[in-house]
Structure formats: structure tokens, C-alpha cells
Amino acid sequence: MTDDVVNVRGLRKRYGDVDAVNGVDLDIRRGEVFGILGPNGAGKSTTVEILQGHRRRDGGDVTVLGQDPGRASRAWQARVGIVWQDESAPAELTVAETVRHFARYYPAPRDPDEVVELVGLTAKADARTKELSGGQRRRLDVALGVIGGPELLLLDEPTTGFDPAARRQFWSLIRSLAAEGTTIILTTHYLEEAEALADRLAVIAAGRVVAEGAPASLAGRAQARATVHWAEPDGTARSEETDTPTRTVAALAARFDGEIPELRVTRPTLEDVYLRLIGPTQLTGPEDKR
């Protein structure tokens, strides 16, 4: 028996004559935070919607928590939490009322007050949804996604439109959920978000997985050549690309006899790797289906 929460083989979805998803394979393990990266229209949202059971697929095998999401039962839905890209809770209900009401749908919900606390809305518990800021609404969405105590939480571009502070707060919320053992799948087009949160990543471009792995080693990133940067005594900036940065730094240290001015050693950022991965396919990717 595998301990995979999600198994996807050869997933396909067409919109008209465009292949939005064209042979995606994914295996996501229990307890993992799994990031799905890709340009707009690459097929991330379609993939996640198929995992949620809200979009029919045209081909391939999909198993989520042991069931085909296309034929999901109520019991299955109670085990899966969903945070959509764009949604609205009833404007005239308060935060506490909304969370309490949604708790009633589930067989074994979490404590509503505790969930409101978890998403950091305790101070706003008695405010009506229409009075919340965009970031606060998103936290309410997360509260509704986790109120049923899901084993798997699916988030589709959860921080789009957030300011940097709100994004950091949101990240710590996701980390605390992951620490509780919830398996989390999130799509994003923010690379720093993927790097900060995900244990593993898949990059989807033009309907296919073009790379998969831990953010630090994605697409050979850890083995890639490093660049050593420094400044000469006259102020000229110098750099050298090398497979052996330690040796280069040692040589420099000997030459400067102590501190090397403006020393930096860099490897390709996730962004460099990502842009290289999606580069050739980006322009031919199908339009985002909304």
C-alpha cells in the first residue's frame, strides 16, 4: 500500500480544440505541501479543479484519498477542503456565524472558535463578511476550507492580490496547517511562495509537468554551476562561473589575504530555473479557461 493521497496518470482535458491538460502525472504523499507552479493558462487550475471533483476530465486516471473525485461521495467531500480562487461567503453573516454554519455540514468538524483563531480572525469574529478586507476574506475562505478537519486541503492561487505582509501571515497559516498533518496542494504563480511553502513542486507548462522535485533541487538547480562575485581593489566588479565555488573562494581569500570585497556566491534562483523551464512553451500555452 502506498501512502499517497493523490495519484494522477495521463490526465487530459480539452476545451474545444485546445489541450488544457495533456498527460499530467502526479503523486502526492500524505502530509506533504505540494506546490503546482505554472504560467496562466498552463493547466494548473484545471488540474486542481479535476482533483476537487468540480471538472470532468477527458482522459487519464485520478485517485484522491482512494476515490475517483469525478464520482465523489459526501463522505469523501467531508475529507477534502477547498479554497477557491474567487468566492464569496454570505455578506450579511458574521465571521463566527459563517464558520459555525459551515461546521454543521461536516460529520466531525473542528471547533469553530478554534478555527477562527487559527486563521487569525478572532478580533473580527463578530464583523460581517462585507466589512472584511480582501486578505481577511481570504482567511475566512481558508477557515471554511478547514472547518471540516480535512485530510487534504486544495488551495487555488490563495494569495493573489495580497500585500507582502498579508502574504507572510498567510504562509504561516499554511505552515501551521501542514504541521497539524494536513496534506496541502496549492497552485501559485509566485515563485517565492512556492519556495517558502512547498516540500515538493511540479511545474506545469502547456498542459504538461515539465519538472518536479524539491524547490532547492528542482531541475538540477542544486547541481547547477555557481557564480562567485567579488570586487577588485580598484572597485571593478568581477564574477566567475564555476563548478567548484569553494576552491575559487579559497584562491581569492589567499590573494586578498583576508576579507574578499563584496563576496557573493549564487546559484540559479528558482525563478531562473522556472523561466528556463517554461520559456519555450510559454507563448504557445492555451488561454486560461475561466
Q: Give the full edge-to-edge strand order of the sheet including 200-205.
A: 80-83, 152-156, 183-188, 33-37, 200-205, 208-213
Would you say 89 or 184 has its CB closer to other proteins? 89
Q: How far is the CB of 71 from other proteins (least distance, A)?
A: 14
Nearer to other proteins, 108 or 179 (CB): 108
Q: b vs e for 156-169, b when ≥16 Cβ sit within 10 Å of the residue's Cβ? A: bbbbeebeeebbeb
Nearest approach in angstroms of CB 91 to other proteins is 8
Closest to 145 (Cα-Cα) out of 179, 189, 110: 110
CA distances from 32 to 186, 197, 223, 224, 264 (A): 11, 10, 24, 26, 33
Question: Nearer to other proteins by C-beta: 88 or 266?
Answer: 88
H or E stretch at 197:
helix 191-197
Query: Shortest distance, CB of residue 15 to other proteins, whole angstroms?
Result: 8
CB of 227 to other proteins, least distance (A): 45
Closer of 72 and 231 to other proteins (Cβ): 72
**Nearer Cβ to other proteins, position 155 or 203?**
155
Q: Which is nearer to other proteins, 105 or 172 (CB)?
A: 105
- Smallest separation, CB 14 to other proteins (Å): 12
Q: Which residues bind other proteins (CB under 8 A)?
A: 49, 52, 54-55, 74-75, 77-80, 82, 84, 86-90, 92-93, 97, 101-102, 104-108, 144, 148-149, 151, 289-290
Residue 112 CB neighbours (<10 A): 21
Residue 266 β-bridge partners: 227
User: DSSP characters for 126-186?
Assistant: TSBGGGS-HHHHHHHHHHHHHTT--SEEEEESTTTT--HHHHHHHHHHHHHHHHTT-EEEE
Cβ at position 155, least distance to other proteins in Å: 12
Q: Could you give the CA distance from residue 275 to residue 272 in angstroms, rounded to a whole number?
A: 5
